[in-house]
């Protein structure tokens, strides 16, 4: 579904991602771990095609097509979707406007809004005066309505209370399971792993993919020993 070949990316003249080789197959869910500033969000935003992320080398191939030069909306049309870590506030643009743009099925919008406790938010300005958890629920709401084939989720659970993580985790898991979607999920807290069945976890450090393995085990060892230990880890499948 997605393949990154020798991808190097620069932001404001500084190289952030270095020679990344990575792939996600149809139906696969991948987890991305890594310390702050390691390049995880840059990777997701580069895949989406946002303006400040310049590809210096390599290719992004999605469904067999080189996407390097495609504008964001064309990537979306091909089946990519993103859930932001920090979405912008947009005054006067209502959540229900975007919902109706993303999905023509009114009942589906209403059901999902109910399930994610967003009914009252539909008439409000996008992300304006939303709490951290409300923003995340609104992001999940939008990406599911958009129904992409590959979901790029940037810390879907950060800033969300335990009760809502369970609701969001349940909604996301049902969606991924039933629809057979692919996903690349960045997580710091690891809570999302309690709800999602993921094939593989990856650790990213200094703009490189460092190692891969069973996501829950990886997260446990990161929690115990920190990311520096990852460099020495021999249990995981080492990626060069």
Partner 1 sequence: MFKKELAKTVDSQDYENIASAGMDLSEKTRSASFLQQDNQILFYRSLLKDVDILSTQEALDKFPDVKEYFGKSFGLLERDFARDTEGGYFIRVKKGQTVKLPIQACLFLKRERFKQKVHNIIIIEEAARLYLITGCSASKAANEGFHLGISEFFVKKGGYLNFTMIHSWQKDISVRPISIALLEEEASFISNYICLKPVREIVMYPTAVLLGQGSRAIFNSLILSHPNTLQDIGSRVIFRAKNTQAEITSRAVSLGGKVIARGHLKTESDDIKAHLECRGLVISKRGTIHAIPELETDFREVNLSHEAAIGKISKEEIEYLCSRGLSKDQAQSVIVRGFMDVNILALPDLLKKEIRDLEEKTLKVSL
Rounded Cα gap, residues 233 and 240, in angstroms: 13
Question: Would you count residue 72 as binding partner 1 (CB under 8 A)?
Answer: yes
Pick from 71, 132, 170, 226 the residue near partner 1 by CB under 8 A: 71
Pick from 42, 85, 138, 146 the residue near partner 1 by CB under 8 A: 146
Question: Which pairing describes strands 2-11 and 53-62: parallel, antiparallel, or unpaired?
Answer: antiparallel
Count H helices and E strands in the chain, helices first: 7, 13
Task: Note whether 190 and 223 are within 8 A (CB).
Answer: yes
Question: Would you count residue 12 as binding partner 1 (CB under 8 A)?
Answer: no
Question: Would you count residue 50 as binding partner 1 (CB under 8 A)?
Answer: yes
Shortest Å, Cβ 186 to partner 1: 16
Q: Which helix (H) or strand (E) holds 151?
A: strand 150-154
Query: Which of 168, 179, 133, 148 shows the shortest CA–CA distance to 48?
Result: 148
State which of positions 81-140 bind partner 1 (CB under 8 A). 81-82, 84, 87-88, 90-94, 97-98, 101-102, 125
Question: Would you count residue 55 as binding partner 1 (CB under 8 A)?
Answer: no
Shortest Å, Cβ 152 to partner 1: 9
Please list, in sequence order, all residues whose beta carbon lies within 8 angstroms of the beta carbon of residue 135, skipping any fewer than 6 positions away.
Answer: 86, 87, 127, 159
Binding site for partner 1 (CB under 8 A): 48, 50-51, 71-73, 76-77, 81-82, 84, 87-88, 90-94, 97-98, 101-102, 125, 142, 146
């Amino acid at each position: 579904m997605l393949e990154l070949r020798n991808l190097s990316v620069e932001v404001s003249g500084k190289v952030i991602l270095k020679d990344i080789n990575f792939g996600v197959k149809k139906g696969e869910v991948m987890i991305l771990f890594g310390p702050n500033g390691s390049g995880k969000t840059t990777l997701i935003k580069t895949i989406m095609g946002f303006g400040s992320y310049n590809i210096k080398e390599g290719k992004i191939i999605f469904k067999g097509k080189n996407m390097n030069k495609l504008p964001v909306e064309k990537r979306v049309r091909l089946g990519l979707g993103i859930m932001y870590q920090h979405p912008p506030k947009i005054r006067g643009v209502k959540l229900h406007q975007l919902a109706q743009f993303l999905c023509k099925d009114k009942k589906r919008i209403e059901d999902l809004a109910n399930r994610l406790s967003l009914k009252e938010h539909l008439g409000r300005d996008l992300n304006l005066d939303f709490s951290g958890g409300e923003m995340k629920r609104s992001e999940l709401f939008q990406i599911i309505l958009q129904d992409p084939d590959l979901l790029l989720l940037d810390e879907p659970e950060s800033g969300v209370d335990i009760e809502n993580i369970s609701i969001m985790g349940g909604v996301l898991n049902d969606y991924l399971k039933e629809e057979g979607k692919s996903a690349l999920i960045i997580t710091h807290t690891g809570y999302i792993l309690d709800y999602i069945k993921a094939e593989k976890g990856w650790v990213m450090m200094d703009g490189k993919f460092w190692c891969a393995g069973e996501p829950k085990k990886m997260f446990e060892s990161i929690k115990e020993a920190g990311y520096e230990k990852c460099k020495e880890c021999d249990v995981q499948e080492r990626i060069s």
